[in-house]
């Protein structure tokens, strides 16, 4: 005897923004998805989790200011989340500061992305991406080992300007040009002589 199948009605836990057109939020979804793929995040389940979290952050900001573009908000939230995550990943366990402490945002972003690429973290630890609560120890160590250290600190040195010696030929040429600039008739005569010289050279070469 077969038992009747019970209807399956799973709860629809979907993203439903209160403001903004659905087309605009679809465009924001695609932009974040492309951004994650550019960072080699190909795990679809984790992609969906990250995209939804990003869009929810963007939606809260959009409610406060509906004039803003959802795609721009999503991109900004993704960047901010990644910067926060890179700071956490590049920090030593138990430290409140670390390799990323005191560094500008651009430096952290570049350092973290290079370390993620070198360590192949997006493929070896696909669920660790943008997870600041549970960072796998081996992934943490791989990221710190692959980070790009800045070069030695720059030091300010004093350099005394020295005159550039261009030789005798340049001095003669410079003096000649100054003389021609002060005397228009002489300049015109020099140009005519140059023109006649070119004509004479052409004549003898074509004979």
pLDDT given for residue 64 in this prediction: 94
pLDDT given for residue 60 in this prediction: 94
pLDDT given for residue 12 in this prediction: 45
pLDDT given for residue 66 in this prediction: 94
Mean pLDDT of the residues in the chain: 74
pLDDT given for residue 10 in this prediction: 45
pLDDT given for residue 147 in this prediction: 64
pLDDT given for residue 43 in this prediction: 86
Query: pLDDT tens digits for 73-130?
Result: 999 999 998 888 888 887 755 555 444 455 666 777 788 888 888 888 778 887 888 8
pLDDT given for residue 76 in this prediction: 94
Tokens of 99: 């390799």
pLDDT given for residue 99 in this prediction: 47
Distance in angstroms (rounded) separating the CA atoms of residues 96 and 74: 28
pLDDT given for residue 155 in this prediction: 45
pLDDT given for residue 19 in this prediction: 92
Angle between helix 184-205 and helix 167-182 axes, rounded to 10 deg:
120
Alpha-helix runs per DSSP H in the chain:
22-38, 44-64, 70-89, 105-119, 121-124, 137-146, 167-182, 184-205
Whether the CB-CB separation of 58 and 141 falls below 8 Å is answered with no
In this prediction, the residues of the chain whose per-residue pLDDT falls under 70 are: 1-13, 92-105, 147-187, 207
Query: pLDDT tens digits for 69-88?
Result: 999 999 999 999 888 888 88
- For residue 120, what is the DSSP state? T
Domain ranges (residues) in the chain = 22-146
């Amino acid at each position: 005897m077969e038992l009747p199948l019970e209807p399956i009605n799973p709860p629809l836990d979907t993203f439903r923004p209160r403001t903004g057109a659905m087309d605009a939020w679809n465009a924001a979804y695609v932009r974040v998805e492309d951004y994650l793929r550019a960072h080699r995040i190909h795990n679809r389940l984790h992609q969906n989790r990250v995209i939804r979290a990003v869009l929810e952050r963007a939606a809260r900001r959009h409610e406060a200011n509906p004039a803003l573009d959802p795609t721009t908000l999503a991109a900004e939230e993704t960047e901010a989340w990644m910067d926060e995550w890179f700071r956490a990943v590049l920090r030593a366990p138990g430290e409140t500061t670390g390799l990323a402490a005191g560094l500008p945002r651009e430096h952290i972003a570049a350092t973290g992305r290079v370390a993620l690429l070198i360590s192949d973290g997006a493929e070896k630890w696909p669920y660790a991406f943008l997870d600041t609560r549970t960072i796998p120890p081996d992934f943490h160590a791989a990221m710190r080992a692959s980070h790009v250290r800045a070069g030695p600190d720059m030091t300010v040195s004093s350099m005394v300007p020295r005159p550039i010696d261009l030789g005798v030929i340049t001095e003669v040429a410079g003096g000649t040009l100054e003389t021609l600039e002060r005397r228009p008739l002489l300049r015109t005569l020099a140009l005519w002589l140059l023109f006649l010289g070119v004509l004479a050279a052409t004549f003898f070469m074509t004979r």
